[in-house]
Amino acid sequence: MADDLGWQDVSVPMHTEATALNAQWHTPHLERLAAQGTVLTNGYAAAPVCTPTRVSLMTGQMPARHNVTYWTLHHDRDTSKNHPRIAPPAWSKEGLQPGTPTLPKVLRDAGYRTIHAGKAHFGAHGTPGSNPSHLGFDVNIAGHGSGAPSSFLGTHNFSAAGKQMANTPDAKPGRPSVWDVPGLDAYHGKDMYLTEALCTEAINALDAAVNDGVPVYLYFAPYAVHTPIMANAKYLQRYEGLHRTEAAYGTMIESVDAALGRILERLDHHGLANNTIVVFTSDNGGLSAHARGGTPNTHNAPLHSGKGSSYEGGTRVPWVVRWPDVTEPGSRIDTPVITQDLTPTLARAAGAVFPADHPLDGADLRSVLKAGGVPTRPLVWHQPHQWGANGPGIEPFSAIRDGNWKLLVFHDGPRVELYDLSEDLGESNDLSVERPEMTSQMLQQLRRVAIGTGLQMSIDKATGTPIHLPSGTGGAQ
């Protein structure tokens, strides 16, 4: 589970054709995985920001249901940016907490050693859920309540203080930061990039489990390529000539790919490759509204916008799965799939069972991965929050994709947009007026999902009441 890695941030083509961005980045190990497995070209993250997607993987539920609809940090603080006219509803700003069934919990019950390595960001600081060990993981490597590291460098002790001292050697050490990465003291002061340290620790835990003869669920979440964008110096040469930030970004991507390569090699070494499901994906679309080099909002082209947005750039991400005897080597599948599908898929493959009263929104993808068809149920995104950067579609919204149609409801108004992704992947031609019956149909579908999941719309500041989700014409019968 890469962090903030966009649809075009890999060298494996995710679009119908290879793009200039595919040529710019370098992910040879992902290319190998794709050649041995399946590329899901319509693969989505559950949300355009980190925590909701990660909680969806843990719970198998869409954010509208699990209600962790935005990123978390402190248990008592809403991280949403202020919006002039609307406010978030009563969302779970504490994040995921013990008591909720999770994928690692049910896998552990089924006999698996469950290993967390890297970014957790499931529950807020000051709550039990900030520790992955309380959420079903037997092993926790460097995970806590923050969704980014103070620094990616071992020479900085992965800390704000270390970074400050490195930049201004005569400064006094600052106080510990909530963003400092915990648990990697062995690498402090060393010339070691965070992704590599995490990978080494993850492989050690994997080796130990193999040695103990137990099956393994390894959730490898390398913090990269989230901000701060900091270069892994050993890969920099390849990106000479790029904007400095983009060059650093390229090395972050390559650090993730190198870790993937090491894990794949370790599976080969243990003779486990033929008996292991490997999934590569990301928690939201690529950062593009700020902090990047080049033109803002173009980093996920041909998709529109990026992280935080309701448009495709916000949620469509790389998806590659290698599943021996299920995926066809080198195949490409265009059935839409989404983060929470992985939960029942992996649970079921492992013989693990969620409690009967825990609703699972995700679908078992086994037959999709084998044959490419079904399920075709609509996918729904819901973020009743203003994210902290400006860009197209970055505002409180709900959205639904059904077949090739996508409908967006911006809560401020509310306003509706409709796109035919088969003709207009870049979402530039709003058809909501031209196609009233399709707009109505999609609104009805969204409404049904809203009822079933308990989806909470944004609050109108003027009245203190929830914004009304527009209903399609034509009542259900």
Smallest distance, a second copy to C-beta of residue 434, A: 10
d(C-alpha 202, C-alpha 216), whole Å: 11
Under a CB-based contact definition with an 8 Å cutoff, are residues 75 and 93 in contact? yes
Q: What order do you get walking across the sheet with 405-410 strand by strand?
A: 379-383, 397-402, 405-410, 415-420
Smallest distance, a second copy to C-beta of residue 431, A: 9
Smallest distance, a second copy to C-beta of residue 326, A: 8
Q: 3-state class of 34 per DSSP? A: helix
CB closer to a second copy out of 17 and 170: 17
131: left (phi over 0), alpha (psi -120 to 50) or beta: beta
CB closer to a second copy out of 49 and 380: 380
CB closer to a second copy out of 262 and 448: 448
CB closer to a second copy out of 207 and 430: 430
Nearest C-alpha neighbor of 72 from the set 141, 134, 144, 176: 144
CB closer to a second copy out of 320 and 368: 368
Smallest distance, a second copy to C-beta of residue 302, A: 9
Smallest distance, a second copy to C-beta of residue 170, A: 56
Nearest C-alpha neighbor of 337 from the set 317, 311, 360: 317
Dihedral, CA atoms, 12, 16, 22, 26, nearest 10 degrees? 10
Q: Given the structure tokens 């509310």, which residue do they identify?
A: 414
Under a CB-based contact definition with an 8 Å cutoff, are residues 292 and 246 in contact? yes
Q: Given the structure tokens 């529950």, which residue do they identify?
A: 123
CB closer to a second copy out of 85 and 377: 377
Smallest distance, a second copy to C-beta of residue 348, A: 5
Nearest C-alpha neighbor of 2 from the set 27, 35, 38: 27
Smallest distance, a second copy to C-beta of residue 92, A: 18
Residues that bind a second copy (CB under 8 A): 15-16, 41-42, 334-335, 348-351, 353, 356-357, 359-361, 364, 366-368, 371-378, 402-405, 420-423, 425, 435, 437-438, 441, 444-445, 447-454, 474-477
CB closer to a second copy out of 126 and 372: 372
